[in-house]
Amino acid sequence: MGKFVVLGLGNFGTYLAKSLSEVGKEVIAVDRNKERVQKAQEFCSYALVGDATDKSILESIGVEKGDTVMVSLGDNISASVLVTLYLKDLDVQNVQVKIISEDHGRVLEKIGATEVIFPERDLAKKVAQTLSSPNVIDYLPLTGEYDIAEIAPPKDFIGKTLAELRLRNKYNISILAVRGLVPESITMNPGGSFTVKDSDILIALGKPDDIENIKG
């Protein structure tokens, strides 16, 4: 995916637009605040002063041609609902919406949002997982009951093969990849004969409780 549309340039929308631009993505941004738009013009492909709840604005920027449209309209629940409806009318395939509550998210999912993002909840969950399992280096909550985590292997993992560790049987987790730090490398879908080193990072898929059971 290379083209993104960000509707709303509050803190979240601005950081998102800038981050996408920094990794080489084409970003179109819309906000009613002229100063925010002027700042976004420094890093966005195109930034427009306009009201995202105006369907003609969405049509004028060719919003349906974006790979992903991110709706980030702060606390304005009614506006995010209306914009999401317009985006579905315009046949936008991937509509991501920043929400402020669980109920807000339920409403948006019912009217067709592809995914809802609750930054405070998602960050709190990530921090809690990291704090409760010191060897969990990074944590990505997925939609549904499974998560992906980067795990520093506990001492009793070192020098053993994945077959010997039997992680799927003992912990109900799967190793998607192993990231080597010395030397830097990545091994995708490692086989049972892969031997874990103390300089390896395990990239694991599993339920949060099962990931938490791996203690450093």
Q: What is the pLDDT of residues 76-125, one digit of tens each?
A: 899 999 999 999 999 998 999 999 888 998 999 999 999 898 877 676 66
Specify the CATH number for the domain of residue 31.
3.40.50.720
**Residue 162 belongs to what domain range?**
131-212
Same domain, 28 and 98: yes
Q: What is the pLDDT of residues 136-170, one digit of tens each?
A: 555 565 656 778 888 888 889 999 999 999 999 99
Q: What is the pLDDT of residues 1-20, one digit of tens each?
A: 568 999 999 999 999 999 99
Give residue for tokens 């086989």. Answer: 191
Q: How many residues does the chain have?
A: 216
Rounded (10°) angle between helices 102-110 and 77-89: 20
SS3 assignment for 52-115: CCCHHHHHHCCHHHCCEEEECCCCCHHHHHHHHHHHHHCCCCCEEEECCCHHHHHHHHHCCCCE
**φ, ψ for residue 95, nearest 5 deg:** -110, 110
How far is C-alpha 3 from the geometric centre of its chain's CA atoms?
16
Same domain, 50 and 140: no
Specify the CATH number for the domain of residue 194.
3.30.70.1450
User: Is 123 part of a structural domain of the chain?
Assistant: no
Tokens standing for residue 203: 């990239």
81: left (phi over 0), alpha (psi -120 to 50) or beta: alpha
Tokens standing for residue 99: 């929400």
Whether the model clears a pTM of 0.85, i.e. scores above it, the answer is: no
pLDDT tier at 130, thresholds 50, 70, 90: low
Same domain, 152 and 190: yes
